[in-house]
Structure 1
Amino acid sequence: MRKGIWLSSALSLGLMMAGVGHASAETLRGALAKAYANNQTLNAARAALRATDENVPQARAGLRPTIGATASGTLSRGRTTRGDGLPNVNSRAGSLSAGIEINQVVFDGFQTPNNIQSAQAAVRAGQANLANTVQNTLLDAATAYMDVIRDRQIAELRRQNLGFLREQVRAANARFDVGEGTRTDVAQAESEQALSTALLNSALAQVAASEAVYLQIVGDVPDNLTPGTRPPEQLMPKSISSALSVSLAEHPAIQAGLFAVDAAAFEVKSIEGRALPQLSVGGSVDNTYTSSAPGTAAGLPGVDINVASGNDVSASVGATLTIPLYQGGLVASQVRQAKEVLGQRRIDVDSYRDQVRAAVASAWALIQAAEANVTGYRAQVAAARLALNGVQEERTVGQRTTLDVLDAQADVLSAQILLAGAQRDVVVRSYELLSAVGRLSATQLALGVQVYDPEIHYQAVHDKWYGMKTPDGR
């Protein structure tokens, strides 16, 4: 068992010391700033939003001209063999053609304007979803930070408990040797020591697991973590009623749902436009050069007969009006489908509101319970320590047994572990409440990190006419 402890300790110590180059202690705000900058899930969400931004210029292309250039060339040769001693006839012909064609949609049943509006609403929904992802990432980081602190505290408490039990085993053996104790006392102490060893191994494994989660979310190893603190008081709602009103007005999940409703509504209008007349105009300019030699006399190579060449330049302009009469029910079905999707989006918004209300109520109740638990567990720890001291003194005079001491020590350890969990819960529940009301962001927390503004990329691409490079040069 001792070997197992050393192995688990080495694993935990390896994770803890992987970043030995970091000299200063880590704070919760610092960990949140690192998660905001380094978290891969969050960075992937930012990239996905940048891709969504490109739907707007793609929609705008529906009413922009298309220009194309064409070029072609042909070359043909022929040979005619004649009898009666007449000479053979060789012929050749060639042509080169080049042109430019321009097409412009004049009216497409309002499809493009509605597609643009739908794409813009989808971008706004994506921005709100990104804000919600930021909230979830910061909450996960705060939870991982406090989990590491709690689990390290529990592991240290169990390590101290193992040291206490080792001393009890030594004392029980000493009393047994001088005839003041029994073999039962020794066995009871040894049993508790063995159990404590196993529980310490489990605690160290939990520390390693929490540190791995921290590394995944924050992007750095947890070094010397300082005690976690609650969010700034000015961000916290003063009552549950104010928390509910703020959450319904500010939570990004609800805002994303409302923008999704707008996008679906414009999609319905766009599909309805497929049943309206379509008008487009086009023009082209072509230049064709031809050259032909219908015959050359055999035996006189290089001497052309009836050589002809020409250059033909032509231009044309036209308009096309398409009036849909019947499309086999396809467009009608697509309109009905889009309306059902719109109804779904509206129901989704109501669902988001219900989820936010439930999250606010749950977080409010849990934080109240956690604060009360801290007070109660502190009192329990103090009382359990006092009782342990008393039981040890009573055992010294023969009024208590070793089992009584072991039970009293177990009560102290249990109270200390519960206190560590409650202290973790106070901080985590505070961040959960802040997330539930929609105020868990890098800006409002003042994390001191460069804030990612999705509007910068959107403004850079939403009206681009050309260029294949991204705004960052890729």
Structure 2
Amino acid sequence: MRQLSRRFGRALAGTTLSVSMLVFTPVQVAAETLADALIDAYKNSNLLDQNRALLRVADDDVAIALSSMLPTLDFIARFDAINPHRTLYKNPVTGRVSRDNLVGTFQLQAQIQIYAGGRNKLTLESRRETVLATREALRSLEQRVLLDAVRAYMEVLRAQAFVNLRENNVRVLGEQRQATGDRFDVGEVTRTDVALADSRLAAARSLLEASRGNLAVAREQFRTAVGRYPNNITSPGTLPQTAPSVQEAISVAVRTHPDIRQAQRQVTVGELGMRIAAGNYRPSVTAGVTAETNSNDQFQQQSLNVTVTQPLYQGGRLAALERQAIAQRDSSRANLLQTTLGIEELTGSAWANIEAATAQIRATELQIRAAEIAFEGTRDEAMLGARTTLDVLDSEQELLDARASRIDAIATQYVAVYSLLSAMGLMTVDHLNLGIQTYDPAGYYNNVKTAPARLSPRGAKLDRVLRKLGQQ
């Protein structure tokens, strides 16, 4: 009987040792860090590729707007069949004379818009502002991609830690079940104690399978966020620096967050749109030069023309366009105010989550120490017969819950800190010092902003840029 008691005591002692050794690192040998995951998320993101392409679309809108201010040159060919036949055609070989009713007219035409009420210049400026707004949207998306990678990384860590915790619990409860069965065989405990041990062991196995399922789900989420499955990930280490106070964090966020800066650009676009709509009432002046000839060399003509167009009445269309522009400007202003409020709320919430998680970690550490003392006492009293098996199992479960709460709090704290960085507009590759080459949003723009022709040297350079982008 004493041997059985000593065996039961060793099983309980194994609980304290094994649980206390469980830390927030899922593997003994780690091969991947959070920085690795962030780098791969940035490189593998289809969302970033999609929005980089949309930014290039906006870049070319600048070229299109500029082209409206430059001269155009067109070659025009027209073929007419004339009846009755009036044109004689003599075959130079046979000398046969026939009538040809097909006449070709060829025209070379150059045009330039001299004046458009300022609309062309305003449109060009509006397109430039749209490019800057789209760049901010790309920065915002970069933050979202990186933050999603942090969440996925911490979720895998959390899930793996819970699996380790549940596996350890199943092992310990299995030992307890064996010890309880041995004590029942010699009459120290009742069948009820054995049933309680069986019940706790079955529940632990159920929770273990659920934790493994959660880990499988977390791995799939990691693959979506990072572009691959996790590989022996380790604890992220030291938390990044943020701000000394919530007021300072909000101040930085209002100044630097890309959503706010994008909304500011959109307000400018709205104001330019109003000026463009007002310019629709002004006249436009177009000049052109035309050289024309036909296939029979019977008609040649060169002309210079100047066309002045002044809108007089267009069925209320111009007034409707002006009202739309005013409403769009007002909408952009309201959006700026609402976006600012949202970022301030997001920053304050992230700060509160950090404080709550930090306090929870401190509380769980105290809870763990107290639960360890309570468990040791319950175990010793059970060996003396003053406590039941149920008391020991309950005490062990409280210790397990405390350690699980700490794991959850640590993961929450990391996500909250990086969420605060994102709310401040600092969740970027450059600010995190990831040490990789980033996408240059100005590279493509600088090549297209002057509206280069396809066959020009600058156009050839642009083709090389496009091929390089397609290979990335």
Native 8 Å contact 2:82 2:103 kept in 1: no
Q: Does 1:445 align with 2:432?
A: yes
1:81-92 alignment to 2 at 5 Å? 91-92=99-100
Q: Does 1:320 align with 2:307?
A: yes
Native 8 Å contact 2:77 2:106 kept in 1: yes
Partners of 1:193 and 1:93 lie apart in 2 by 101
Letter in structure 2 aligned against 1:46:
R
Unaligned runs of 5+ in 1: 1-22, 80-88, 291-309
Letter in structure 2 aligned against 1:161:
N
SS at match of 1:314: strand
Highest CA radius of gyration, 1 or 2?
1
Give the corresponding residue for 1:154. 162
Letter in structure 2 aligned against 1:218:
V
Q: Which of residues 342, 345, 364 in structure 2 aligns to 1:358? A: 345
Native 8 Å contact 2:149 2:226 kept in 1: yes
Partners of 1:102 and 1:424 lie apart in 2 by 67
SS at match of 1:275: coil
Give the corresponding residue for 1:198. 206
Cα drift, residue 338 of structure 1: 1.1
Give the corresponding residue for 2:322. 335
Letter in structure 2 aligned against 1:194:
A
Give the corresponding residue for 1:275. 281
Partners of 2:281 and 2:181 lie apart in 1 by 95
Native 8 Å contact 1:77 1:91 kept in 2: no
Partners of 2:201 and 2:191 lie apart in 1 by 15
Give the corresponding residue for 1:209. 217
Kindly indicate which of the two structures has a greater share of residues assigned to strand: 1
Cα drift, residue 422 of structure 1: 0.9
Partners of 1:378 and 1:337 lie apart in 2 by 60
Partners of 1:42 and 1:385 lie apart in 2 by 48
Letter in structure 2 aligned against 1:166:
G
Q: 1:357 to 1:181 in 2, by over 3 A?
A: same
Q: 1:385 to 1:108 in 2, by over 3 A?
A: same
Partners of 2:239 and 2:176 lie apart in 1 by 43
**Greater CA drift, 259-268 or 388-397:** 388-397
Q: For the aligned residues, what is the CA RMSD?
A: 2.0
Give the corresponding residue for 2:369. 382
Identity %, equivalent residues: 32
Q: 1:230 to 1:459 in 2, by over 3 A?
A: farther
| Cα-to-partner distance string for 1:283-312 (whole Å, 9 max, x where unaligned) | 21011242xxxxxxxxxxxxxxxxxxx532
SS at match of 1:443: coil
Letter in structure 2 aligned against 1:326:
Y
1:7-406 alignment to 2 at 5 Å? 25-74=31-80, 91-233=99-241, 236-290=242-296, 310-406=297-393
Partners of 1:256 and 1:430 lie apart in 2 by 24
Q: 1:92 to 1:446 in 2, by over 3 A?
A: closer
Native 8 Å contact 2:30 2:233 kept in 1: no
Native 8 Å contact 1:78 1:91 kept in 2: no
Cα drift, residue 161 of structure 1: 0.7
Partners of 1:396 and 1:117 lie apart in 2 by 84
Partners of 1:153 and 1:419 lie apart in 2 by 11
Cα drift, residue 90 of structure 1: 6.9
In the superposition, the TM-score normalised over structure 1's length comes to 0.85
Partners of 1:361 and 1:118 lie apart in 2 by 34
Unaligned runs of 5+ in 2: 1-28, 86-96
Cα drift, residue 77 of structure 1: 8.8
Cα drift, residue 93 of structure 1: 4.5
Q: Which of residues 463, 466, 472 in structure 2 aligns to 1:472? A: 466
Cα drift, residue 229 of structure 1: 3.0
| Cα-to-partner distance string for 1:405-438 (whole Å, 9 max, x where unaligned) | 1101110110111000111122111111111111
| Cα-to-partner distance string for 1:104-154 (whole Å, 9 max, x where unaligned) | 111112111111111111110111111111111111111111111011001
Native 8 Å contact 1:185 1:403 kept in 2: yes
Q: 1:432 to 1:92 in 2, by over 3 A?
A: closer
Native 8 Å contact 1:73 1:97 kept in 2: yes
Native 8 Å contact 1:261 1:342 kept in 2: yes
Cα drift, residue 178 of structure 1: 0.8
Letter in structure 2 aligned against 1:466:
A
Partners of 1:317 and 1:345 lie apart in 2 by 45
